[in-house]
Structure 1
Amino acid sequence: MRPLPGLISVLALSACAAAIVPPAPQQAVSARFAADAPQAGSAIDLTWWGQFNDAQLADLLRLADANSPSLRSAAAAVMKARAVAGQGDAGLAPVLTADLARSVTKQADTARATDDTAKFDASWEIDLFGKARQTAEAARLSAAAEEAAFRGAHVSLSAEVASGFVQYRACMRIEAIYRAALGSQRDTLRATGDLVRAGLAPQSDAALAEASVASAAIALESQTADCRVLAQTLAVSVGVSQGQIDAILSRGGGLPVPRAFRVSSVPAEVLRQRPDIIEAELTFAAALASMGAAQADLFPSLSLGGSITLTDPKSWQFGPALSLPIFDGGAARASLRSAQAEAQIAGESWRKAVLSAVAETEGAMTRLAAARRNGASARKAVAGYQAYFDALDAKWRAGGETLLNRETARRSLQTAQITEVEQREAEILQWVALFKAAGGGWTRPAQAQAAALPQSEGKE
């Protein structure tokens, strides 16, 4: 018969034969952004929202922090992950249990007897091949990943609430344009009726004026409904009642003006500040640790155990126990292959997160630059169409221009005014999108930096 130490050596060598090379994904990123990065004087920080100088937006963000269902769910996920990490750490320590019992017996021909028993049991699995340590490390890394996910949820929620608020304000501004247009059309209808009755305008002008009023009423009603839906969406995001949201939105009215901030021209620096990248890195590191724990299952395990009966101190036992994975139908190796696949998936998820982050940042900067240029053009268009409409309106009132031409000019002016509002909205929304894409002002935590993937020049 082969001695026990020799058998252990054979099993250990067999386990080593199943060793695998852990995945090591890398993703190259450009040295600089392709789009022109904003180069304002100040760097991005967490107080950026306060620089809008909008009390209503500040109120909504505070309420969202306290009441948002998505943020509360993310916080609960962090609590759960920390609890699991605590369980993993507990697996490294010995286990001690106490059993206390009392029994009372009474038979017909004997007196009643009481029997007390007190017993302590202790066990400790010696972590010879690192399974318990790797399991605990995986749990700790998963908890850190959940904390990064919570930070990401906070950034996303802030951006979502701010974007919804900006869209609502822009919607209300466009509604005001439609409302003013409807009032103007009604004035035109009355003036046209007077001219028709006086024989100074054809009946067709009255029909055109009535049609214009009806069209303006439809546009206003549709816009009002759109604004109401935006307010209802904000209530869901913030997590409070519709009445509370309406009370906040009823104050103020103009579009907020965000303060420009500087974006690093190096994509890798931006990526290091994004919570989702930190989360993906930590998730991958946790998957590698889980793979190490699965590999340790191929090796023998050694535990120490013992017990002592306090009511009978001479009654005790102590000794080691060795578990040898001789044959399990391939379950342990299948578990290892599964853990390897999970690590591979986590590594590719990290690569995808890096690519998505670069694309999101590039897209926000590209759209921001376009919106700023379009905003200047939209303001010029409004000024030109306003002057054109004023001239035709004066000629129409003097009887020298047709109502059809005047209405065409009015619709062009209205379209230009709406376009200007939309371009201002787009610029603000792209500042918000860029704030989110750049990590929302978060600073990469030290523990995330320590667990980061190996980096090389030009790599993140």
Structure 2
Amino acid sequence: MSERYGSLIVLLASASLASCSVGPDYRPATSGDLALPSTYSDGSVAALDEAGLASWWKRFNDPALDRLVERAISVNLDIVQAQARLRQAREATIQAGADLLPTVSGSGRAGRNVVINGKDSSSFSLGLDADWQVDLFGGNRRAVEAARADEAATGYDLAGVRIAIIAELVTNYVQLRLAQEQLAIAQSTVGYQRDNYDIARWRVQAGLASSLDEQQARTQLAQTEASIPEIRTGIRNALNRIAVLTAEAPGAATAALEPVAPIPAPPTGIAAGFPADTLRQRPDVRSSERDLAAATARIGVAQAQLLPSLSLSGSLGTSALTTGGLFDTIAGSLFAGLSQILFDGGARASRVRAQRAAADGAFAAYRQTILTSLEDVENALVAVSSADERSAQLAIAREAANNSAFLARLQYQSGLTDFQTLSNIETSLLSSSNSLASSRAAQALAVVQLYNALGGGWQTMETNGTGA
């Protein structure tokens, strides 16, 4: 009898596994389906440097920055949370796969029968029960397909968090170095302006100038000194943010960054590759594509609920008055049941329509993510080009303003010009110095924006089955 039951189970299992799954099969869209442009608008046709993209921050050649990024990758709490979500998604895939298999439970019982004025007796029993919901129409297999796609999407979400944290860290590091340079400019300017103030007072005392010069010099000096606390606040804010990004409490953790260091020089000649490269490298695009695959698979899950379901259950059991006789007689049973929902008010059919709508929405979200990614790259390419051009012109302006200020100081000390002329020229020098520093930082930040838009920083990450 057991052989007949075994043959029946094997036959039904084979039929289940061989049957076709209901619902549409997911087919990834091609570049032609998505109508991607062949190149970016800057006309570049250079291939994407994928090795450089993976660790792009190292191209700034700043060891302090490298150490910060490596620490953030290891301990940043946003990344830790994303890693936990990925582990949850993996367990969900395991749970979905378990629905394809039978559930088996065992039981055992022992008792003592007490008979008054009679002979006591013992009883023992063992039992084994199994239930299996046969996946006749592939609904459970579609659920596994959806769970695997969700897991992959969650892996790409982790990659997206990682590249965002790297970009934010590098941005704050550049802003820190910019603020430090602006502080140095302001302090140097205060030194010049204090000398001008002393000269103006001497000239007034000597009767060579009016007190207006002294008051103008005093005003200019005070205004520059007033800007220093705000710059120091910016430095502290950047340090505090860097500490949090590296999972440390603000304060002493970033003391090593307080000594002044130059704004990191960005790499040049970055090749953006082709739009198709961007879709392959951007984790948000790949996550959106996996969301679409999951939504498509869930159409089959919903359709399978409209069809009949087959369940198998069986049991084996034995009982005896002694433990030695438990296996003398074993009895078993096997039952098969077929059920079909006849009326549910249209709920299941509605779920199919709802899931089709969800798949349509997922496809629209996928296309929107693609367009946004292409927009990000185009904007970043323009930002890099504009920052380079602006910085070149501001360097010329800074040199001219410095020469003018040097001549104006000499002329004022010699009485050949008035203080208002000197004040205007030195104000222009301060402005051009700050503008040049800001433009150099903008060059670095534009490169950060470009690498972020290209999806750099996660290519060497262990994805463990996310399809990378």
Shift of 1:331: 1.7
Q: Distance in 2 between matches of 1:170 and 1:38?
A: 33
The counterpart of 1:364, out of the listed 377, 380, 383, is: 380
Q: Find the counterpart in structure 1 of residue 281 from structure 2.
A: 273
8 Å contact from structure 1 (residues 307, 316) kept in 2: yes
- Aligned partner of residue 34 in structure 2, secondary structure: coil
8 Å contact from structure 1 (residues 40, 262) kept in 2: no
Shift of 1:229: 1.4
Amino acid at match of 1:194: W
Counterpart mapping for 1:316-331 below 5 A: 316-331=332-347
Q: Distance in 2 between matches of 1:59 and 1:244?
A: 17
Shift of 1:115: 3.7
Q: Distance in 2 between matches of 1:439 and 1:234?
A: 21
CA 1:374–1:112 in 2, change beyond 3 Å: closer, same or farther?
Answer: farther
Q: Find the counterpart in structure 1 of residue 39 from structure 2.
A: 32
- Aligned partner of residue 413 in structure 1, secondary structure: helix
Counterpart mapping for 1:7-406 below 5 A: 26-35=33-42, 37=44, 44-104=52-112, 106=114, 114-251=122-259, 253-260=261-268, 262-311=270-319, 313-406=329-422
CA 1:243–1:446 in 2, change beyond 3 Å: closer, same or farther?
Answer: closer
TM, length-normalised to structure 1: 0.87
Shift of 1:71: 0.4
Q: Find the counterpart in structure 2 of residue 423 from structure 1.
A: 439
- Aligned partner of residue 410 in structure 1, secondary structure: helix
Q: Distance in 2 between matches of 1:46 and 1:252?
A: 28
Shift of 1:190: 2.0
Shift of 1:366: 0.5
CA 1:21–1:137 in 2, change beyond 3 Å: closer, same or farther?
Answer: closer
Q: Distance in 2 between matches of 1:22 and 1:334?
A: 21
CA 1:103–1:189 in 2, change beyond 3 Å: closer, same or farther?
Answer: farther
CA 1:247–1:161 in 2, change beyond 3 Å: closer, same or farther?
Answer: same
CA 1:183–1:132 in 2, change beyond 3 Å: closer, same or farther?
Answer: same
- Aligned partner of residue 319 in structure 2, secondary structure: coil
8 Å contact from structure 1 (residues 39, 261) kept in 2: no
Amino acid at match of 2:314: G
8 Å contact from structure 1 (residues 37, 365) kept in 2: no
8 Å contact from structure 2 (residues 177, 260) kept in 1: no
Amino acid at match of 2:417: E
Q: Distance in 2 between matches of 1:167 and 1:48?
A: 18
Q: Distance in 1 between matches of 2:45 and 2:403?
A: 34
CA 1:233–1:441 in 2, change beyond 3 Å: closer, same or farther?
Answer: closer
Residues 419-442 of structure 1, C-alpha deviations (whole Å, 9 max, x = no match):
111111111111111111112055
Shift of 1:20: 8.4
- Aligned partner of residue 259 in structure 1, secondary structure: coil
8 Å contact from structure 2 (residues 178, 437) kept in 1: yes
Q: Structure 1: any 5+ residue segments left out of the alignment?
A: 1-17, 451-460
Amino acid at match of 1:206: E
Q: Distance in 2 between matches of 1:244 and 1:60?
A: 15
8 Å contact from structure 2 (residues 155, 466) kept in 1: no
Q: Distance in 1 between matches of 2:318 and 2:54?
A: 60
Greater shift in the superposed pair: 52-61 or 186-195: 186-195
Residues 170-226 of structure 1, C-alpha deviations (whole Å, 9 max, x = no match):
111111111211222222222222222222221111111111121111111111112
Q: Structure 2: any 5+ residue segments left out of the alignment?
A: 1-21, 321-328
Q: Distance in 2 between matches of 1:128 and 1:448?
A: 28
Shift of 1:325: 1.5
Shift of 1:27: 3.2
Amino acid at match of 1:191: I
CA 1:36–1:256 in 2, change beyond 3 Å: closer, same or farther?
Answer: farther
The total of aligned residue pairs comes to 433
Q: Distance in 2 between matches of 1:187 and 1:105?
A: 110
Identity value in percent? 27
- Aligned partner of residue 65 in structure 2, secondary structure: helix
TM, length-normalised to structure 2: 0.86
- Aligned partner of residue 311 in structure 2, secondary structure: strand
8 Å contact from structure 2 (residues 177, 262) kept in 1: yes
Q: Find the counterpart in structure 2 of residue 414 from structure 1.
A: 430
- Aligned partner of residue 45 in structure 1, secondary structure: helix
8 Å contact from structure 2 (residues 23, 297) kept in 1: no
Amino acid at match of 2:40: F
8 Å contact from structure 1 (residues 27, 351) kept in 2: yes
Amino acid at match of 2:58: G
Shift of 1:412: 0.5
Q: Distance in 1 between matches of 2:259 and 2:112?
A: 76
Greater shift in the superposed pair: 155-164 or 362-371: 155-164
8 Å contact from structure 1 (residues 120, 309) kept in 2: yes
Shift of 1:345: 1.9
